[in-house]
Chain A
Amino acid sequence: MTSPQKPILRVENICKTLGGKEILKSVSLSLYKGELKVLIGPSGAGKSTFLQCINFLIPPDKGRVWLEETEIQSRRKRDLYAFRQQVGMIFQDFNLFDHLNALENVAIALRKVKKMSRQAARDHAVAELERVGLGDKITLYPAELSGGQKQRVSIARALAMDPKIMLLDEPTSALDPELIGEVLSVIRDLAKGGMTMILATHQIGFTRSLADEVLFMENGSIIEQGSPEDLLSQDASSRTRDFCCRLNELYEESV
């Protein structure tokens, strides 16, 4: 993907200390429209925290965020809410609203936040659910869905808000292996469709085939940054590749 001049998302100098431990040590990132950047790293590296600092779910101690050249004043509630509407987030534990069925999960923010009419919200929600292949499951409740289905609903829920960018925090890490495929397939379609995304994941194969850039995080900082070829190909000698090899030993995936 060619990068236009100005990044759609700019994140500068995010620092966060939690419980006396420095989780994020000045992390910065620029994201261009249509790009898929992948965050890789060991657990505890700070990937989740970083993503949640971008939309201020976790307020960073220091750092600034710009969306399309406008800085986000996180202290101003209305600005913050408006910003979050444009940033879709997918969680490792899905976080579907348990008391609502799939349709309602997708429609509720459309009604409460975007103030759509009941009918308009419903129609939009049905369309999004069909896009992720769940058109026949709209009346089911989260407790009645498999992990893969739940994650797909959460993707539909985020997409329904028509976000400018998506942040995906290890979307398949909580899934049984046979369910990972259906979710990756949806994410692949999103990437191919030009959605701007930051994805934190352990799925190396997926990363290699689709990422525009790979960022390796360890101990709260981005250690290495580069294209998948540079960091992950057979003859690359990088920390990233070392980590991925170790991962493969654990997961028996071929690099």
Chain B
Amino acid sequence: MLDALIAIFEALPYLLKGALVTSGIVVGAMGLGLVMGIHMAVGQVYGNRAVRWFVGLYVWFFRGVPVLVLLFLFYFGLFALIGLNLSAFAASTLVLGMTTAAYQSQIFRGAILSLPKGQLQAARALGMSDIKAIISIILPQALRFSIPGWSNEYSIILKDSALAFVLGTSEIMARSHFVASRTYHYLPLYITAGCLYFLLTWLGVRALLKLEAKVRIPGYSQ
């Protein structure tokens, strides 16, 4: 028991660096998903038939294929095919980013559709172009309402980041595994890994709750 604790204590700096890598993957993936997701959501709600078809196809594909399969498919297959030489970290972040974009686009789309139609009508009546109206009137409201769903997606991607292990990314899971292979203290190490993931989830969700409170529209009922 004691040597298990000693092993964990000695491995902690190494594992914490893994937490940094995990955070990098999550920040990168969520960021990419945010940018892509907003564009796809706007395209799906306001775009022409071609745009809607394309976004629909994209969402269908990335929601339909397991992340694990996508990681292998892109890293060993597609990226090599088009000559894109990415590190395991970059590839994992990119694939996770493209996946979460699909889910995030539906979160944003739902939020946009939940807004009263009159918001856009009033903006148009004042002479705003659709783009201006979407950026100044629709998105500020829709994004506020998307925070709970987005927070949920964040916690999912954080857990999915453990899959980056299979491409050889040196994140929390991989590092826990390496230390365990050397020391054979599997249970204590997996508990430590679990705690690290929990900590990252908790920190992120709390930050998002703070954000939600900060941007809440005054007077709106809970």
Tell me how far the C-beta of B183 lies from the nearest C-beta in chain A, rounded to whole angstroms: 54
Is the CB of A206 closer than 8 A to any CB of chain B?
Answer: no
Q: Determine whether the beta carbon of A143 is less than 8 Å from that of B219.
A: yes
Is the CB of A75 closer than 8 A to any CB of chain B?
Answer: no
B106-143 Cβ-contact flags toward A at 8 Å (1 or 0): 00000000001011011111111100100011001100
Within the assembled complex, what's the spacing in Å between the Cα atoms of A72 and B5? 79
Interface size grouping (class) on chain B:
20 to 34
Tell me how far the C-beta of B193 lies from the nearest C-beta in chain A, rounded to whole angstroms: 41
Q: Determine whether the beta carbon of A109 is less than 8 Å from that of B127.
A: yes
Q: Determine whether the beta carbon of A84 is less than 8 Å from that of B125.
A: yes
Is the CB of A9 closer than 8 A to any CB of chain B?
Answer: no
Is the CB of B52 closer than 8 A to any CB of chain A?
Answer: no
Q: Determine whether the beta carbon of B219 is less than 8 Å from that of A141.
A: yes
Within the assembled complex, what's the spacing in Å between the Cα atoms of A89 and B119? 13
Q: Which residues of A contact B220 (CB under 8 A)?
A: 98, 143
Tally chain A residues at the interface, Cβ within 8 Å: 34
Q: Determine whether the beta carbon of B128 is less than 8 Å from that of A109.
A: yes
Is the CB of A34 closer than 8 A to any CB of chain B?
Answer: no
Q: Determine whether the beta carbon of A113 is less than 8 Å from that of B124.
A: no
Q: Which residues of A contact B132 (CB under 8 A)?
A: 112-113
**A→B interface (CB under 8 Å):** 52, 55, 57, 77, 81-85, 87-89, 91, 93-99, 101, 108-109, 112-113, 140-144, 154, 157-158, 161
**B→A interface (CB under 8 Å):** 116, 118-119, 121-129, 132, 136-137, 140-141, 144, 217-221
- 22 A-B pairs with C-beta separation under 8 A: A52-B121, A55-B125, A81-B128, A81-B129, A84-B126, A88-B125, A91-B118, A97-B122, A98-B217, A99-B141, A109-B123, A112-B128, A113-B128, A113-B132, A141-B217, A141-B218, A141-B219, A142-B219, A143-B219, A143-B221, A144-B218, A161-B126
